[in-house]
Each structure stands twice: as structure tokens, then as C-alpha cells.
Amino acid sequence: MIASDEYDVIVIGGGPIGLSSAYHLSKRRARTLLLEQFTFVNQLGSSAGVSRQFRIPYPEQYMVKLVKQSIHFWDELQSLTSVPLLDTVGTLWFGDPSVHTSEGNIAEAEAALKAEGVSYTSLDRKALEQQYPFRNLPEPYVGLFQAQGASINLQATIETLLASNQNSVHTTMKSNAPVTDIVRTDGKFHVTTPLGVFSAAKLVLTPGPYANSVFHLLGFHIEATYWNMASAFYKVQGPPVKYPTWFVFQQPNGENGNEFYGFPEVSWNYPGYIRVASDFVIKPLDSPEQRTFVPNPRELAFTADWVRQHMTGLNPVPEFTSTCLVALSKIKNKELLIDFAPPSVPGNKDVVLYATGWAGKFVPILGRILSDLALDGRTDFDISNFQTGYKYFKVFDRATGQ
């Protein structure tokens, strides 16, 4: 007989990726426990706020491929709810064609889209200003439009996964259950929380920006930097304006990283307002503990200035400001880490993890990949570009904190 605190898999971290993992594990009838240190649907990790961008353009072909593969899993998730999860308005990437940023470069993205057979249209500056409500764009600016881009209703996505897990006989969920210790004996992991000790043969680690606080319990560490990102909404004024989801590539100007992104007006998030945000931070953090919930006023001011100069139909005064914390890998071009724990961890092949990067668009497919890895030790999806752990994870000594 199995004790009530024993499971097949324990998922640590109840954000959207952890919820998606539990959803896919429960589809495979695995007895799953999902542990969240705060409440579910919290605003304290990488899923704060409501909207995210779903986009196919990426400079790397393997990323374009993964987004394409994720569409099937979005459709599956959508079949579970009547609330629209995606508002398909298209992705517009535009700006200085010579700029290469952490998001990539317009020409590289076009090459990757072409290689994957994804249709898009190219635009010059004149066409950009004729077809979209942007203005005063400098002459060299060009753009690409990809019609499948969308605003993701991340909150509805989380709530859909939460409801499905709540209804599953295979899944148990516990909030206010921070994991403070993990020990392995007799081929099982024993996971300590203030609510008790729970055991399972397999672990899935999805702790978001708090990744190292969980990885340290198993004696390893990932190199990451932390961005406490500022965001704001701008009131729509005058005749209605139709923006797609968009991203602008520009040369940095001193401490102004000069990269911005935005959304159309959406019914689920401050209707009557449009979200525009900076895709840079003036000062990255070394650890999540350094974050505050106060948006950097200079990042907000740079964004408001861009709105004033280049967007029509908006009052350029930032309102409903907020922050969101994200961990980014220090490994070049490696935005997502999807892997087993490093070999230094006893039973490492029984520990699956996801950490770092912009993964809102991958929520439904990542749960499937992590559940495959946990239950089968492999997945049909090509994750070789994300399996960098063996080279880059560092050993962490809990006794010395180094």
C-alpha cells in the first residue's frame, strides 16, 4: 500500500509551467503533488501581470520550430475553457535592421522563418507608418509582420490549468508549501515543507526566478541574472487605434536600452488602456532577494518618451505601473534551460528542471516536455539546444553557501 504522502512525481513551483507539468503528468495518470511556496496565481514570480506575447519570429530556427510545435498544445488548452487564451492580432517586429539584441535581429528572424516555411510580410518605413499607428520612425527602419502572433491571456491560462488540476483525481496541490529541504534515500526523494514531508521517485523543478533556492537544496547552481522589469499602461484617447503585438529594435542610448514592446488593447487587462513596456533594465540584479516592487522611474520615463514620440492615440502618461521578475541565463543564446539535474546529484536522471527565459508562449508545450522527461526519461521534442546543464551547472555546497 502507498502512504498518503507518497507520490510518483513531485512538482516544485506552482506557476504556469509547474501547473502545465502537473496537467500533463495527470493525463498520464501519474500520482502528482504540486507544491507552491505562496498561493497559486501569485504576482511574486515571473508570471506577474496578465498579458504576454505569443510570437513565432526568433533568430534561431530551433526556436521557431518549438513555437510552431506549441500551437497544438495551445489548441488543446483552449478546448478546456470558453475564455479566449490568445487574441490573434499578429506580431510586428520593426526598427533598425543593424541592431542585434538579446531578442535577435530582424533579418536573422526572417531567415529562420523562411527556413521553417512560416509566412510573413516585410515592410519599409513608409509601409510601417501607413499600416500601423506608429509615427516619426527614422528612415532606415524596416519591419516584418507575422500574422499568427497573439496576446496571451496568461492569467486565464493559469486559471485553466489550475481548474484542470483541481478536477484531476491524480493531482494534489498544496499552496503555502515552500520546499526547504530535499533528501534522497532508498531511491526516493523526501521533500520537506512546513506542511509535512512528501516523497516521490521523481521530481520536476519549476521554481521560476527562485530556481537557485531550490537547486541549492540538491547541491547545484545555475548562472543567472535577474531583471526586475517595469511595465505600464497608457490611456487610449481620440479615435480607436489598432496595434498588433509589437517589438522595436533600436540602438541603445546611454542607460536607455531603447528596446520596447507593446500590445493592442485587450478586454481582459485594463480595457481603455494599452500596455507598453521596456525590454531592458538599467541595473540587473544578482539575486531575486534584491528585487523591489517599485518600477524604476527612469525605465518608465524612457518608455513614456518613446510612446510620446512614436505612438498615436495614447496619452503618454504611464499608469497602473508594476514590476515582474525574470531570471535570464548567462549562457549566450540559451534562453531556456530544460534538462535533468547534473550528474553530481544522486538520482539526477529522476530530476527534471526548467529554468530561465521568456517562456509564456511555451507554457502548454513545456509541461508536456517536462512530463515526458520525468516519466519516460526522454521526449520526442528536440530539446538538445536547451540541454546545457552538464556543461554549465556549478556545484553548490550548502554548508559554505558557495
Residue 225, CA distances (Å) to 183, 285, 355, 385 in order: 28, 6, 12, 20
Size of the site for ligand FAD (CB under 6 A): 35
What is the contact mask toward ligand FAD in residues 167 to 186, using x (rule: CB under 6 A)? -----------xx-------
To the query of whether residue 273 is one of the catalytic residues in this protein, the response is: no
- Short-list 112, 103, 149, CA closest to 357: 103
Catalytic residue flag (residue 261): yes
Catalytic residue among 96, 103, 259, 335: 103
What phi and psi values does residue 327 have, to the nearest 5 degrees?
Answer: -95, 130
Q: Give the nearer residue to ligand FAD in terms of CB position, either 136 or 207.
A: 207
From 55, 202, 275, 368, the catalytic residue: 55
What character string, x for contact with ligand FAD (CB under 6 A) and - otherwise, covers 33-52? Answer: --xxxx---x-xxxx----x
Question: Catalytic: 29?
Answer: no
* Residue 211: C-alpha distances to residues 4, 224, 230 (Å): 27, 9, 21
Stretch that binds ligand FAD, among 7-15, 141-149, 294-302, 377-385 (CB under 6 A): 7-15
Q: Does 213 bind ligand FAD (CB under 6 A)?
A: yes
CB closest to ligand FAD, residue no: 15
> Which CB, 38 or 392, lies closer to ligand FAD?
38
How, if at all, do strands 273-278 and 142-146 pair? Answer: unpaired
Task: Single out the residue of 217, 225, 224, 226 nearest to residue 396, CA to CA.
Answer: 217
**Residue list 225-284, contact with ligand FAD (CB under 6 A):** 229, 231
CA torsion 159-165-166-171 (nearest 10°) is -150
In whole angstroms, the minimum distance from the beta carbon of 36 to ligand FAD comes to: 5
Grid cell locating 124: 519599409
Please report whether residue 214 would count as binding ligand FAD according to CB under 6 A. yes
Helix and strand totals (H; E) in the chain: 9, 21
Q: Packing angle between helix 61-78 and helix 363-376, nearest 10 degrees?
A: 100
- Identify the active-site residue in 7, 120, 141, 261: 261
- Whether 227 and 328 have beta carbons less than 8 Å apart is answered as yes
In the block, residue with C-alpha cell 489548441: 75
β-bridge mates for residue 11, sequence order: 34, 204
Q: Identify whether 76 is a catalytic site residue.
A: no
From the list 246, 310, 239, the residue with the least C-alpha distance to 275 is 246
Of 235-243, 358-366, 374-382, 387-395, which part binds ligand FAD (CB under 6 A)? 358-366
Is 324 a residue of the active site? yes
Site for ligand FAD in 302-331 (CB under 6 A): 324, 326
Out of 62, 268, 358, 392, which one is annotated catalytic? Answer: 358
For ligand FAD, the binding residues (CB under 6 A) are: 12-18, 35-38, 42, 44-47, 52-53, 178-179, 206-210, 213-214, 229, 231, 324, 326, 358-361
Catalytic residues: 55, 103, 261, 279, 324, 358, 361
